[in-house]
């Protein structure tokens, strides 16, 4: 072998060794996040649609999505997955090598049901809503309770069942059972997770890894229902609607602006630790409960379901079996500086009845859909 060939071989070998060492160093310096499959809630007691089966489907979907993102090189961290999702295992997993953990938190698992009566005939519609906050947390310190939330990837979605005008739905003479609602919720949540990515939190994680600085966040501090008409329609479901509006806004705001959000303050009971500039709430799972703390947000917004109205739309030809009803809703946003923005939206629903009979419509699903549309439009304004 001549001298040039020897030098070329040494150069190639050196480059290969350099690349291998660089890859090893990159792998060694990459941020490690543990994932112990479990699903958490921000409240104790009976879950709405989060059955054991739904919980398992959500865990499996997250594991699969993390694997797919890692294979595509689209994760801003390396995942260290454990077998058991018990709280003890999660809390014991924190170390210098694995400083963060991923915890999915259910903030919405709700069904808004509408009963329609046409004379002596019944029909049902359901709006199934899901909201998940995929939280990235560190271990608590002397100043933190339990664990500390660094950032979240908020997911939000809904599906309408029993409306011929949406998703090819069919009129339902009977309401869905609790199991059927839970199955629909699980399918919706899995579909949301399949589109999940961590692009909006990548920079914050990089900064935290470098300087241990928590990011500036925005939080929905409250959602009001000042409309008297809306209060009557959602009597007994007001808290669920407020939580739904807040989560839809938060998810769309982070997606549209790239600014990070924290779970809405109305989702559970938050304990303010003013001297530490922090909030904390209790988080639950089958293996126990733990306090989760977060820094005070840099910005807050207050939303308000401020108006609801309806009117019959009259055409040129009157009909004794059909009428078109226009439903309209308003949503107001107030920021820290006192500025207000008000948006409105509407939908027209054709209603059919038998001649000589009355039609009665419970309007929960109609106004829930309108408010979700308004929350997305409001968040996308980027201001």
Q: Which is it for strands 260-261 and 217-224: parallel, antiparallel or unpaired?
A: parallel
CB 294 within 8 Å of CB 149? yes
Nearest one of 109, 132, 236 to 178, comparing CA atoms: 109
User: 95 falls in which pLDDT band (50, 70, 90)?
Assistant: confident
Q: Mapping DSSP to helix (H, G, I), strand (E, B) and coil, where does residue 146 land? A: coil
Tokens of 163: 């409306």
Residue 9 sits at φ, ψ, to 5 deg, of -65, -40
Q: Mapping DSSP to helix (H, G, I), strand (E, B) and coil, where does residue 347 land? A: strand
User: 13 falls in which pLDDT band (50, 70, 90)?
Assistant: very low
Distance from CA of residue 308 to its chain's centroid? 25
User: 14 falls in which pLDDT band (50, 70, 90)?
Assistant: very low
Instruction: Please state, in angstroms and rounded to a whole number, the distance separating the CA atoms of residues 66 and 79.
Output: 8
Instruction: Please state, in angstroms and rounded to a whole number, the distance separating the CA atoms of residues 110 and 202.
Output: 30
Pairwise pLDDT comparison (112 vs 315), residue with the higher score: 112
CB 128 within 8 Å of CB 171? no
Instruction: Please state, in angstroms and rounded to a whole number, the distance separating the CA atoms of residues 281 and 260.
Output: 19
Q: Which residue has the tokens 């979907």?
A: 61
pLDDT of residue 111: 94
Task: Lowest mean pLDDT of 109-113, 210-214, 292-296, 355-359, name the range.
Answer: 355-359
Average pLDDT rounded to a whole number, residues 255-281: 81
Average pLDDT rounded to a whole number, residues 63-75: 96
pLDDT of residue 144: 52
Task: Report DSSP state, residue 98.
Answer: S
Q: Which is it for strands 100-118 and 359-361: parallel, antiparallel or unpaired?
A: antiparallel
Q: First and final CA of the chain: distance in angstroms?
A: 69
User: 101 falls in which pLDDT band (50, 70, 90)?
Assistant: very high
Residue 252 sits at φ, ψ, to 5 deg, of -70, -35
CB 332 within 8 Å of CB 304? yes
Q: Does 335 have pLDDT greater than 70? A: yes
Residue 352 gets the label, from left (phi > 0), alpha (psi -120 to 50) or beta, of: beta
pLDDT of residue 96: 86
- For residue 182, give every residue at least 6 positions away whose Cβ sits within 8 Å of its Cβ, in sequence order, or none: 49, 50, 51, 53, 54
Instruction: Please state, in angstroms and rounded to a whole number, the distance separating the CA atoms of residues 32 and 93.
Output: 11
Q: Does 10 have pLDDT greater than 50? A: no
Nearest one of 97, 85, 91 to 33, comparing CA atoms: 97
- For residue 232, give every residue at least 6 positions away whose Cβ sits within 8 Å of its Cβ, in sequence order, or none: none
What is the pLDDT of the chain when averaged over all its residues? 84
Q: Mapping DSSP to helix (H, G, I), strand (E, B) and coil, where does residue 11 land? A: helix
Quick: pLDDT tens for 131-172.
Answer: 999 999 998 765 555 888 999 999 999 999 988 777 667 878
Q: Mapping DSSP to helix (H, G, I), strand (E, B) and coil, where does residue 127 land? A: strand
Q: Which residue has the tokens 């999940």?
A: 196
Percent of the chain surpassing pLDDT 70: 82
pLDDT of residue 18: 35
Q: What is the pTM of this model?
A: 0.85
Distances 7 to 4, 16, 21 between C-alpha atoms, Å: 5, 14, 21
Distances 366 to 95, 114, 159, 333, 335 between C-alpha atoms, Å: 49, 8, 12, 21, 27
DSSP annotation string for 204-223: HHHHHHHH-PPPPEEEEEEE
- Domain spans of the chain? 31-379
């Amino acid at each position: 072998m001549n001298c040039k060939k020897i030098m070329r071989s040494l150069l190639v070998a050196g480059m290969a060794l350099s690349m291998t060492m660089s890859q090893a160093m990159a792998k060694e310096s990459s941020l490690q996040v543990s994932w112990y499959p479990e699903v958490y809630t921000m409240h104790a007691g009976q879950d709405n649609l989060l059955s054991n089966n739904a919980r398992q489907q959500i865990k499996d979907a997250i594991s699969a999505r993390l694997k797919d993102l890692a294979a595509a090189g689209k994760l801003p961290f390396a995942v260290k997955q454990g077998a058991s999702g018990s709280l003890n295992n999660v809390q014991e997993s924190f170390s210098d090598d694995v400083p963060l953990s991923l915890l999915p938190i259910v903030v919405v698992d709700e069904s808004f049901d509408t009963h329609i009566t046409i004379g002596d005939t019944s029909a049902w519609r359901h709006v199934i809503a899901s909201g998940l906050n995929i939280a990235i947390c560190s271990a608590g310190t002397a100043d933190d309770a339990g664990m500390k939330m660094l950032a979240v990837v908020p997911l939000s979605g809904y599906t309408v069942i029993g409306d011929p005008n949406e998703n090819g739905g069919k009129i339902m003479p009977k309401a869905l059972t609790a199991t059927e609602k839970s199955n629909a919720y699980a399918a919706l949540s899995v579909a949301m997770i399949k589109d999940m990515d961590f692009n909006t939190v990548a920079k914050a994680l990089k900064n935290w890894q470098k300087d241990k600085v928590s990011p500036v966040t925005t939080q929905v501090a409250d959602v009001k229902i000042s409309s008297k008409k809306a209060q009557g329609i959602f009597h007994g479901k007001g808290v669920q609607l407020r939580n739904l509006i807040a989560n839809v806004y938060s998810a769309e705001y982070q997606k549209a602006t790239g600014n990070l959000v924290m779970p809405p303050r109305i989702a559970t009971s938050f304990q303010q630790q003013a001297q530490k500039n922090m909030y904390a709430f209790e988080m639950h799972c089958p293996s126990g409960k733990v306090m989760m703390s977060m820094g005070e947000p840099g910005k807050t917004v207050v939303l308000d379901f401020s108006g609801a109205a309806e009117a019959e739309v009259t055409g040129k030809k009157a009909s004794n079996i059909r009428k078109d009803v226009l439903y309209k809703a308003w949503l107001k946003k107030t920021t820290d500086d006192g500025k207000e923005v008000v948006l409105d939206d509407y939908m027209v629903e054709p209603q059919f009845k038998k001649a000589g009979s009355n039609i009665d419509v419970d309007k929960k699903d109609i106004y829930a859909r309108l408010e979700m549309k308004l929350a997305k439009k409001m968040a996308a304004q980027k201001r």
